[in-house]
Amino acid sequence: MSGEQSNSARNYELAHAEVAHQLPSGGWLDTLRREALARFGRQGFPTRRDEDWKYTSLKSIEKQRFVPATGAGAEPDAAWLDQCRIEGLEAIRLVFVDGFFDAGLSAIGELPEGVRVQSLAAALADESEPLKGRLGAVADEDMHRFAALNTAFVADGAWLHVPADVELEKPVHLLFVTTADDTPRLVQPRVLVSAGRHSKLTLIEHYADPAGASAFTNVVTEIDAGEGARVEHYLLQEHDSAAYHVGSVHVAQQADSAYVSHNVNLGGALVRHDIHPRMLGEGAHTVMNGLFLVGDGQHVDNHTRVDHAVPHTGSDEYYKGVLWGKGRAVFNGKVIIHRDAQKTDASQYNGNLLLSPMAEIDTKPELEIYADDVKAAHGATVGQLDEDALFYLRSRGLDARAAREVLTFAFAGDVVARMGLAPLRERLEAAIAQRLPGGGLA
């Protein structure tokens, strides 16, 4: 570990000391937090010498002093906030400002019996201690150092619990917004999901910032999917182009459960996602769809890791990237089929479209197979727009820009089509059209 590393880790320890008295406390929570802080202090910031961070430098984050948000006094602009609504989506809505739940902006409404949808702070304050033994149970903090940092500061976020055999019809929309002012903030919400046996739920984790907000969001999501449960999880990252985001999603899947992840990245200066489902029970299935649009000044790194730990499990991963300008992206998809995981069926694909010669993608599938009776397929492509198709469209009267957009849209379209929620698909289509270079579909 270099001296530089411990220096930046030290900064976070100091910052922690300053806000520690404001954090919720209690026996088990204090222990958890203390251990996490010590762990982060020991491990420090990852560097590019770490295999998992080879293509992503954290220097731009390290050299800044982010001040831990406390949730006091910040208020987002109402008109802007309105644009963050997902049109046509009837959802249970929780809004977090700089990582802290804002009841006034949220609308939870009536919930089916036994269902819990509340702020993490409220759940931590609950005397029945619903989070004891749950918080931190799914996340692997040794593998994901920023998860330890998040735990060290844990104060607020969302707690979702759907009991056995209950289907939560309305999706839960968690909207995380930051506020912009002179001090860049450190925002660290935590999302904890427990889906009981044969329960169903849809969750939308949505990030947005007002223009120019350069907060550093470090989020951890833990999902415990019980036997036969189905969790559909949208990660909609619409950060401002100045924002930093590191997030990890940890999923424990019991037998016959299904976890479906849609990971959409539209914004951010530096973004890193780790998505890590572990299939612990037979018959479990994971679907991971991803789309990243990465332009000038942006760096988006998606690391996924699927652990097939037992027989008869499946995973299906489909990620696509569109890059332009000097955009940079990383895709690393690890599929680990453990020794006992016979009859695993795993497929993985990452396709990339480079719209400019300066754009760059590092894509790497990593299959580790320790069982012998399995089906595993993977593929990765990097290409440009098809000149023949461009000419064909132009020969039918479409101008060059429209032709490029239509083809780019077609490339990204099949990932969008894999997403079940129509209002989300529509928002996405509009966002894609708007974010592409040139902007606006003809």
Please return the burial class of 14, using the count of CB atoms within 10 Å of its CB with bins 0-12, 13-18 and 19+.
exposed
Query: Min. distance of Cβ 411 from other proteins in angstroms?
Result: 7
Query: Min. distance of Cβ 401 from other proteins in angstroms?
Result: 10
Q: Are strands 100-101 and 92-97 parallel, antiparallel or unpaired?
A: antiparallel
CA 65 to chain centre: 23
Say which residue the tokens 């004891």 belong to.
Answer: 132
- Among 174-182, 332-340, 383-391, 428-436, the segment contacting other proteins (CB under 8 A): 383-391
For residue 106, the SS3 value is coil
Does position 407 interact with other proteins (CB under 8 A)? The reply is: yes
Does position 74 interact with other proteins (CB under 8 A)? The reply is: no
Nearer to other proteins, 127 or 387 (CB): 387
Query: Min. distance of Cβ 289 from other proteins in angstroms?
Result: 16
For residue 87, the SS3 value is coil
Does position 108 interact with other proteins (CB under 8 A)? The reply is: no
Question: Of the candidates 88, 399, 420, 434, which one interacts with other proteins according to CB under 8 A?
Answer: 399
Does position 392 interact with other proteins (CB under 8 A)? The reply is: yes
Question: Of the candidates 38, 125, 143, 410, which one interacts with other proteins according to CB under 8 A?
Answer: 410
Question: Of the candidates 406, 419, 431, 433, which one interacts with other proteins according to CB under 8 A?
Answer: 406
User: How many chain residues bind other proteins (CB under 8 A)?
Assistant: 24
Evaluate whether 87 touches 427 at the Cβ level (below 8 Å). Answer: yes
Evaluate whether 175 touches 95 at the Cβ level (below 8 Å). Answer: yes
Say which residue the tokens 């918080």 belong to.
Answer: 135
DSSP assignment letter at 158: E
- Torsions phi, psi for 423 (to 5 deg): -60, -30
Nearer to other proteins, 47 or 409 (CB): 409
Does position 393 interact with other proteins (CB under 8 A)? The reply is: yes
- Among 7-15, 173-181, 317-325, 401-409, the segment contacting other proteins (CB under 8 A): 401-409
Amino acid (one-letter) located at 255? A
Return d(Cα 298, Cα 282) in angstroms, integer: 40
Query: Min. distance of Cβ 267 from other proteins in angstroms?
Result: 24
Q: Helices 145-153 and 27-43 sit at what angle, rounded to 10 degrees?
A: 140
- Among 15-23, 242-250, 292-300, 391-399, the segment contacting other proteins (CB under 8 A): 391-399
Nearer to other proteins, 74 or 402 (CB): 402
Nearer to other proteins, 368 or 399 (CB): 399
Return d(Cα 190, Cα 195) in angstroms, integer: 16
Does position 413 interact with other proteins (CB under 8 A)? The reply is: yes
Query: Min. distance of Cβ 235 from other proteins in angstroms?
Result: 23
Nearest to 109 by CA among 87, 126, 88, 94: 94
Write the binding mask 414 to 433 for other proteins: x where contact by CB under 8 A, - elsewhere: x-------------------
Say which residue the tokens 């990452």 belong to.
Answer: 350
Question: Of the candidates 75, 377, 386, 430, which one interacts with other proteins according to CB under 8 A?
Answer: 386
Return d(Cα 180, Cα 210) in angstroms, integer: 7
Which tokens hold the place of 143?
A: 């593998």
* Interface contacts to other proteins, rule CB under 8 A: 386-389, 391-400, 402-403, 406-407, 409-411, 413-414, 442
